[in-house]
Chains A and B, each alone.
Chain A
Amino acid sequence: METFIKKIGRNFIDIAVFFHGFTIFSNKVLKTLIKFKLFNPAVFLVFVRQIYFTGVQILPVYIAISLIIGVAMVGSLMQAADLVGGIDQLGRIMVVISFNQIAPLVTSILLALRSATAVTAEIALMKMNREIDTLQSLSIDPYEYLYLPRIAAGVICMMALSTIFVCVSLLGGYFILSFLQDMSLDYMLTTIFDNLELFDIITFLIKVFFLGFALMSIPIYTALETKAAVTEIPIALLRGMMRLFYAFILIQVFTIMLGMYL
């Protein structure tokens, strides 16, 4: 029993230490953003490259996945709506499910698998090889050159890809609806836009901002905790991915509560 209580206490302390450190890290990143150093040629190059690695290279696979999920989602929603006699509410259901839930969730999972792992390994390796010290010795702030462009690229790619997901999945949904319900594209778009409220857009933006920020900042912060040993890198990867997973759940719960109470 004593061991169990100690273990809970240890975990609680670890979580508190993480939140404390991560808050300081995030604060520094946001302060760096305000300095507008993102437009420095060296920093901007890193930013553009990160956009390419995170948001462009993934596009073919991403579009295919969005299309498949779109077709499956609309097909299932239509069946469910038909069962409960709410086919006229299909537009609203599609907005709520696709725009507010599925798009940010699928994007964040795919980007976590592809980019967050790469960033964790990259930063941990740089820390281990003292390359971050090299940057500091050249009077280059790692927050400006290393962390900010990656985090900013994470937020922008999350927004852009989630929007692409909504468009592609709705297009996939249209194929199903036009085939089964003989629905025109014009009618479907009108139904969706009629059901799209300003609040949905705000919730979507808040959600993708936090997901995008967490997507890169948590792996970077975790990678910076590693010590100078190669064996620390897989541990950092595992720890970073677990923390990211918990963060995604927290953000999801937070935005659902936001939707319920506002």
Chain B
Amino acid sequence: MTNTFIYYTSEAQKERWLDQILELTKTEHIGIVTSRLPIIGNLSVFENIILPASYHFNLSLKEGRKMIENDLKRLEMPHIIDTRPDFLTDFEKLMVKYLQVTYLQPKWIIIVSPRRMYAAEYEEKFKDFLRCETRDNSVIIDHINHRYLFQDLENYTELDFDLWLEINLQTSNSR
């Protein structure tokens, strides 16, 4: 899915970067997948995913349902469409969050510390997901200690956060 990785060395640095990205969401559509921003607990999976498209692009429920059914089939979890988040596994929550931000039609999808969002048993599934998803506007921000986990992926590129921000979101970062 992605060939851009950014590594942080401390929690404080990650939080600072996340705050910077959140600030940018006020003016740009940026999809952020992180445990700090969970899916909405009182909405079903379908309602969670369709929410940004329905709000920003007036996507109808009927049309959206078909699209979401196809997306969930692609991710091999069509059965969860009407499930409430409380009944999902960690990995399913991560996938729902990912689909939710894709329906925002964001300029960039930023996945922050994905391993904080699922149990270790889903590691292979997550790697399969990264291999199968074709998307060139995504970036993963993870801890430097997790670098070795991505090394078997193809087209592996590392970037500095400030540089990435400046190139891709035309933001000069002085902090």
> A interface vs B, CB < 8 Å?
40-43, 45, 122, 125-126, 129-131, 133-140, 145
Query: By the criterion CB–CB under 8 Å, are B52 and A130 in contact?
Result: no
Q: Mark B82-95, 1 if CB is under 8 A from A, else 0.
A: 00000000000000
Q: Which residues of B contact A139 (CB under 8 A)?
A: 25-26, 29, 52, 56, 104
The verdict on A140 contacting B51 (CB below 8 Å), with A40-B58, A41-B60 known, is: yes
Q: Which residues of A contact B32 (CB under 8 A)?
A: 137
The verdict on A41 contacting B36 (CB below 8 Å), with A126-B41, A136-B25 known, is: no
Closest beta carbon of chain B to A117's beta carbon, Å: 15
A-B contact count (CB 8 A): 60
* Sample of 13 more A-B contacts, CB < 8 Å, known A125-B41, A126-B40, A145-B55: A41-B58, A45-B61, A122-B42, A126-B41, A131-B40, A133-B22, A133-B36, A134-B37, A134-B39, A138-B104, A139-B25, A140-B52, A140-B55
18 A-B pairs with C-beta separation under 8 A: A41-B59, A41-B61, A42-B51, A122-B42, A126-B41, A126-B42, A130-B36, A133-B36, A134-B38, A135-B40, A136-B25, A137-B22, A137-B25, A137-B30, A138-B25, A138-B100, A138-B104, A139-B104
B54 within 8 A of A: yes
Query: By the criterion CB–CB under 8 Å, are A131 and B41 in contact?
Result: yes
Query: By the criterion CB–CB under 8 Å, are A129 and B55 in contact?
Result: no
Closest beta carbon of chain A to B50's beta carbon, Å: 8
Q: Which of B26, B37, B100 contacts A130 (CB 8 A)?
A: B37
Q: Which of B26, B54, B100 contacts A42 (CB 8 A)?
A: B54
Query: In whole angstroms, what is the CA distance A42 to B43 when docked?
Result: 12
> B interface vs A, CB < 8 Å?
22, 25-26, 29-30, 32, 36-42, 51-52, 54-56, 58-61, 100-101, 104
Query: In whole angstroms, what is the CA distance A133 to B26 when docked?
Result: 12
Q: Which residues of A contact B40 (CB under 8 A)?
A: 126, 131, 134-135
Query: In whole angstroms, what is the CA distance A133 to B19 when docked?
Result: 11
Query: In whole angstroms, what is the CA distance A45 to B51 when docked?
Result: 10
Q: Which residues of A contact B60 (CB under 8 A)?
A: 41
Query: By the criterion CB–CB under 8 Å, are A42 and B55 in contact?
Result: yes
Query: By the criterion CB–CB under 8 Å, are A130 and B38 in contact?
Result: yes
Beta-carbon nearest neighbor of B35 in chain A: A130
Query: In whole angstroms, what is the CA distance A133 to B29 when docked?
Result: 14
Query: By the criterion CB–CB under 8 Å, are B104 and A41 in contact?
Result: no
Beta-carbon nearest neighbor of A131 in chain B: B40
Closest beta carbon of chain B to A40's beta carbon, Å: 6
Query: In whole angstroms, what is the CA distance A95 to B25 when docked?
Result: 54
Q: Which residues of A contact B29 (CB under 8 A)?
A: 139
Q: Which residues of B contact A41 (CB under 8 A)?
A: 54-55, 58-61
Q: Which residues of B contact A43 (CB under 8 A)?
A: 55
Q: Which residues of B contact A137 (CB under 8 A)?
A: 22, 25, 30, 32, 37
Q: Which residues of A contact B36 (CB under 8 A)?
A: 130, 133
Query: In whole angstroms, what is the CA distance A41 to B47 when docked?
Result: 12
Beta-carbon nearest neighbor of B54 in chain A: A42
Query: By the criterion CB–CB under 8 Å, are A133 and B37 in contact?
Result: yes
Query: In whole angstroms, what is the CA distance A135 to B101 when docked?
Result: 11
Closest beta carbon of chain B to A223's beta carbon, Å: 14
Query: In whole angstroms, what is the CA distance A117 to B45 when docked?
Result: 26
Query: By the criterion CB–CB under 8 Å, are A131 and B38 in contact?
Result: yes
Q: Which residues of A contact B39 (CB under 8 A)?
A: 134
